[in-house]
Chain A
């Protein structure tokens, strides 16, 4: 019972801070809201009793990705022109329309579908052994390819962002 109350508190908070990310006036506020939203989704993984993903979420998103985003914000700050930059473009009403339609569709499908094999209240915790076996046996080859993808992506990022002297 208390778990459900806590879940609802977290769910409302996550929706609020996620709205903060897209509606905040300044980009730094958006970044701070993003950190809170990512941490909230990590807490959702804890509610699902899958601690491994929660840990990965806190480490990679809460640590690495937000630091990268803050660094990029710092490097691309408008050189203190005084006036605030426009936050949304002329596309905003159409974007809101699309997002509202998508939200209605997703919620409608999620609620009205009878999910086959739904364990509901009887859901059991996924053990870390199961995750390890799935990751390194069933998905061993994709796992190694993901490592190669990360290496290539970060070499590419260095090449793209490098300062060239002859420019």
Chain B
């Protein structure tokens, strides 16, 4: 098997790409997709730890299941908010959604 550090480095690279996407991209849906990348990197990390450090109890795998469930809830809610924003403001650009009320 590949050493565990390989998985950690891979997930670190994916996470950093997600961070760049969240900070730099302006389309709200693209920001969400970058958040999905980050969540994926985290659950890959959890599962790698579970497989290499703790195969008897599988705690990390349960954590990964929770991450996936919460990510599903998050993406549903956030896309509803983006659609609402687009309907009210005709934009999906996060920089243009700067006012707290209108």
Which A residues touch B64, using CB under 8 A?
A: 53
Q: Would you call A106 and B15 a contact (CB within 8 A)?
A: yes
In the complex, A80 has a CB within 8 A of chain B: no
Q: Would you call B62 and A22 a contact (CB within 8 A)?
A: no
In the complex, B99 has a CB within 8 A of chain A: no
- Within A128-162, which residues are at the interface with B (CB < 8 Å)? 130-131, 134-135, 138-139, 142, 146, 149-150, 153-154, 156-158, 160-161
Residue of B nearest to A65 (CB): B75
- What 1/0 flags go to A59-85 for Cβ under 8 Å of B? 011001100110111011010000001
A95-B20, A98-B23 known; A118-B53 Cβ under 8 A = yes
In the complex, A4 has a CB within 8 A of chain B: yes
Q: What is the interface residue range for chain A against chain B?
A: 35 or more
Closest Cβ–Cβ distance, residue B8 to chain A (whole Å) = 4
- What 1/0 flags go to B11-52 for Cβ under 8 Å of A? 011111111111111111110111011001101100110111
Which A residues touch B55, using CB under 8 A?
A: 119, 123-126, 130
Q: Would you call B66 and A142 a contact (CB within 8 A)?
A: yes
Q: Would you call A56 and B14 a contact (CB within 8 A)?
A: no
A21-B21, A121-B1 known; A160-B77 Cβ under 8 A = yes
- Other than the given A45-B44, A161-B84, 17 more pairs (CB < 8 A) read A30-B33, A37-B40, A38-B40, A48-B51, A50-B47, A53-B47, A61-B68, A69-B75, A72-B82, A87-B26, A92-B24, A107-B13, A116-B53, A118-B4, A156-B77, A158-B80, A160-B80
- The chain B residues found within 8 Å of chain A, CB to CB, are 1-10, 12-30, 32-34, 36-37, 40-41, 43-44, 47-48, 50-59, 61-62, 64-66, 68-77, 79-84, 86, 92-93, 95
- The chain A residues found within 8 Å of chain B, CB to CB, are 3-4, 7, 11, 14-15, 18-19, 21-22, 27, 30-31, 34, 37-38, 41, 44-45, 47-50, 52-53, 56-57, 60-61, 64-65, 68-69, 71-73, 75-76, 78, 85-89, 91-92, 94-96, 98-100, 102-103, 106-107, 110-111, 115-121, 123-126, 130-131, 134-135, 138-139, 142, 146, 149-150, 153-154, 156-158, 160-161
